Amino acid sequence: MLESTVRRSCQPSAESIAKDLQTLCELQISTTTVRREYHGMGLRGRAAASKSYITKCNAKCQMQWRRAHHHWTLEQWRRVLWSDQSCFSVWHFNECV
């Protein structure tokens, strides 16, 4: 019952799920129980990272770069050093992938 309630809603909080189950099904369930079941289903509470917006100045610079390079040949692009490595910090562990 808990899993179907969680899957139906769009990112509900443990508190709201506990309240819904208490009112709709007349179950006495704590938020701790809901969180434990979330964890058992493989769902983790994570806050989304905020994404910075592209400023008008950056957009203008990007457009100038694109216009300057749109005519490049395949051979010219092959000489570019592509770096797709990103660093992440999760729970005080730094990893680069």
Note the pTM of the prediction, 2 decimals.
Answer: 0.39
pLDDT at 40: 82
Residues near 44 by beta carbon (within 8 Å), at least 6 away in sequence: 38
Q: Is 80 helix (H, G, I), strand (E, B) or coil?
A: coil
Q: Is the pLDDT of residue 96 over 60?
A: no
Q: Is 15 helix (H, G, I), strand (E, B) or coil?
A: helix
Q: Is the pLDDT of residue 56 over 80?
A: yes
What mean pLDDT comes out for the span 23-50?
Answer: 78
